[in-house]
Chain A
Amino acid sequence: MGELAIETRGLKKSFGKTHAVAGVDLAVSAGGVYGVLGPNGAGKTTAIRMLATLLRPDAGEAQVLGYDVVRDARAVRSRVGLTGQFASVDEDLTGVENLLLLARLRGYSRRRGRERAADLLDAFGLAEAADRQVKKYSGGMRRRIDIAASLVVTPELIFLDEPTTGLDPRNRNQVWEIVRGMVAEGATVLLTTQYLDEADQLADRIAVIDHGKVIAEGSSGELKASVGAGSLHVRLRAPEQRAEAERVLAGVLEVPAEPSADPAALSARISDPERVARSLAELSRSGIDVTEFALGQPSLDEVFLALTGHDAEETPEEDAA
């Protein structure tokens, strides 16, 4: 784990007046999933495009697998795989033609290229769609062929730019399984996402990026811990008692309790877990029936809000990509 797959210092890129990436320092260990989390327009795609040698940095340095992305661009290109909103496949061609094309470009013979394409299609559950044009694929199949295309020569490092954006939960889970499978075989995956639960689920370490800068870095647990001990979520039998419950909880926990979207539920951020038991006892004593309660670590949503002062879903500027 000591070896670094990616190291950047002061990486910058501007488009006109937009500072898409405004000085990013990253240190990504080899092996595992590194998540880059941020809203639309935060600079995630621009950063990944620089790391994948598609975009020349204005300033700063970046090393990928020990090679400089500007000076040794070709060495980087032969060792990384790229999948995302950008690096895509040819929609007019069939699945097998796309993979064979890439296999030939990477030096496979025609025969070995065909075998490799067939193996990849099998592994990604696309064997039946092999001879169909990619434009006729469903969203999930499309994403799988995109990923397969970046594995024609097994890369040491895979960039996945928002791999599950726009996918339904079933297909999203499949992409997650693929990512876990790749990591199990020793690959390093750098994944950008605007979904907090995706980073939480997959990433060993997460960089939170906003307005082109890394504003926090750590494991999901560390990020959550930096925000506080977590929250107490309570659901009442009678929604009309919520106002009273709010008062009781606030009294014991000494922090404000907030109503949730569910009319019978409320939650409170807690600083001292010891008070939780007392607060629940107090509710019961006041004749307020609790049907459910849960003590959770703060969600990454809350982390993001605490770090940036705005929601993760907010789009503060146009997408700089």
Chain B
Amino acid sequence: MNATSAEQASAPVTEDALRTVLLAGERPSRPGPVLTSLTFGWRALLKIKHVPEQLVDVTMFPIMFTLMFTYLFGGALAGSTQEYLQFLLPGILVQANVMITMNTGITLNTDIQKGVFDRFRSLPVWRPSPLVGALLGDLVRYSIGSTIVITLGLVLGFRQEGGAVGVVLSVVLLLVFSFCLSWLWTMLSLILRTPNSVAGVSMTVMFPLTFVSNIFVDPKTMPGWLQAVIEVNPITHLATVVRGLMHGSVPAGEIGWVLVSSVLLVAVFGPITMVLYRNKK
């Protein structure tokens, strides 16, 4: 093992010290759900601090996608890369956030494999708090991803007619939706056995979910049946809203749709996740 042998040798467990800690045990009162959820959120931040390379999906991927789509397809799809960027950037912001949510499931599944999940389940805390805490930690990741995409967009020449308020509102809405969508991944991570299979299944859901939408192109040229599918995809509505907010209009009806689908996602996948969590083998 990596530890130095000197350290091991100088590490006798002293009986007196052991007695002291066992007897000094106080019994603090049980903390509430908010505090325990925030504490689990703190753990997620500590993990980012210790394993910064896990931020690759919130930094490199959004940059890569924005650059690739703008310069590969921009000219062909919209006549010029500048024109396409105006259309694409809000969409890519949605895609980046939705992609980042997948990480939630993979992280949770890794916790299950490693056994630390059992430790949390054995604690007398509000039961959803490890999951809620992880999702709160993920909000930081979404914020980083959004900041990177928006900054890159501005550098490339994106003009947000909606001003700062439109941008901030868009990001807030994205955080809400991403938090709610994550319950789908927490559910999957409790059903599937390995982090790899969680990643695989998530990708299979994620690609159609983001590509069969209006993120990359206007669906007008597509066959009717496909347009119908796109119309019911909540990602389409989310992209429409973000696009609207960034370009200076407030699509109130569409915002309503996004909020309703967010609530539905939690209402369906939240309870299923908790039942699976409680009965996990």
Interface residues of A (CB under 8 A from B): 15, 49, 52-56, 74, 77-78, 80, 82, 85-94, 97, 101-102, 104-109, 112, 116, 119-120, 122-126, 128-129, 133, 136-141, 144, 149, 151, 153-154, 174, 177-178, 181-182, 184-185, 187
Contact = CB atoms under 8 A, between A and B. Distances in A.
A89 B29 contact: no
Contacts of B25: 151, 153-154
Contacts of A104: 31, 35, 39, 42
Given A93-B46, A129-B7, A105 B36 contact: yes
A177 B39 contact: no
A77 B122 contact: yes
Given A136-B2, A182-B18, A91 B114 contact: yes
Contacts of A185: 18-19, 22-23
Interface in B109-124: 111, 114-116, 118-119, 121-124
A139 B29 contact: no
Contacts, number: 162
28 contacts: A54-B118, A82-B119, A82-B122, A86-B115, A87-B118, A87-B119, A88-B115, A88-B116, A92-B47, A93-B50, A101-B39, A101-B43, A102-B119, A106-B30, A106-B123, A106-B124, A107-B30, A119-B20, A119-B21, A123-B17, A125-B11, A136-B2, A137-B2, A141-B8, A154-B21, A174-B12, A177-B13, A185-B22
Interface of B: 1-3, 7-8, 10-15, 17-31, 35-36, 39-40, 42-43, 46-47, 50-51, 111, 114-116, 118-119, 121-125, 278-281
Contact of B3 (A105, A129, A178): A129
Given A77-B123, A124-B13, A125-B10, A187 B22 contact: yes
Contacts of B30: 78, 106-107
B211 to A, nearest CB: 33
Contact of A137 (B3, B24, B118): B3
Contacts of B2: 136-138
A123 B7 contact: no
Nearest to B7: A128
A178 B47 CA distance: 30
Given A120-B21, A122-B17, A88 B8 contact: no
Given A125-B11, A136-B2, A54 B121 contact: yes
Contacts of B119: 82, 87-89, 102, 149
A151 B121 CA distance: 16
Find the residue from B10, B20, B31, B123 having the highest chain A CB count within 10 A: B123
Nearest to A97: B46
A77 B114 CA distance: 20
Contacts of A107: 28-31
A126 to B, nearest CB: 7
Given A107-B29, A123-B21, A137-B3, A178 B43 contact: no
Nearest to B3: A138
A77 B124 contact: yes
A125 B114 contact: no
A89 B43 CA distance: 12
Nearest to A113: B28
Contacts of B278: 56
B122 A105 contact: no
Nearest to B129: A105
Contacts of A80: 122
B115 A85 contact: yes
B17 to A, nearest CB: 4
B118 A92 contact: no
Nearest to A13: B281
Contacts of A105: 31, 36, 39-40, 123, 125
B28 A112 contact: yes
Contacts of A138: 1-3, 8
Contacts of A92: 46-47, 50-51
Given A88-B114, A92-B51, A151-B22, A125 B122 contact: no
A91 B118 CA distance: 14
A91 B46 CA distance: 12
Contacts of A87: 115, 118-119, 122
A50 to B, nearest CB: 11
Contacts of B47: 90, 92-93
Contacts of B7: 128-129, 141
A54 B1 contact: no
Which 3 A-B pairs have CB atoms at the shortest separation, nearest pair first? A154-B25, A125-B11, A107-B28
A136 B19 contact: no
Nearest to B15: A181
Contacts of A187: 22
Given A178-B18, A181-B19, 17 more contacts: A53-B122, A56-B279, A90-B47, A90-B114, A104-B39, A105-B123, A106-B124, A123-B17, A128-B11, A129-B3, A138-B1, A138-B2, A138-B3, A140-B8, A141-B3, A144-B13, A153-B27
A141 B2 CA distance: 11
Contacts of B29: 107
Given A93-B43, A101-B43, A141-B3, A52 B122 contact: yes
B124 A74 contact: yes
Most buried by A among B11, B23, B35, B46: B11
A122 to B, nearest CB: 6
Residue with the greatest number of chain A CB neighbours at <10 A, chosen from B30, B51, B121, B279: B121
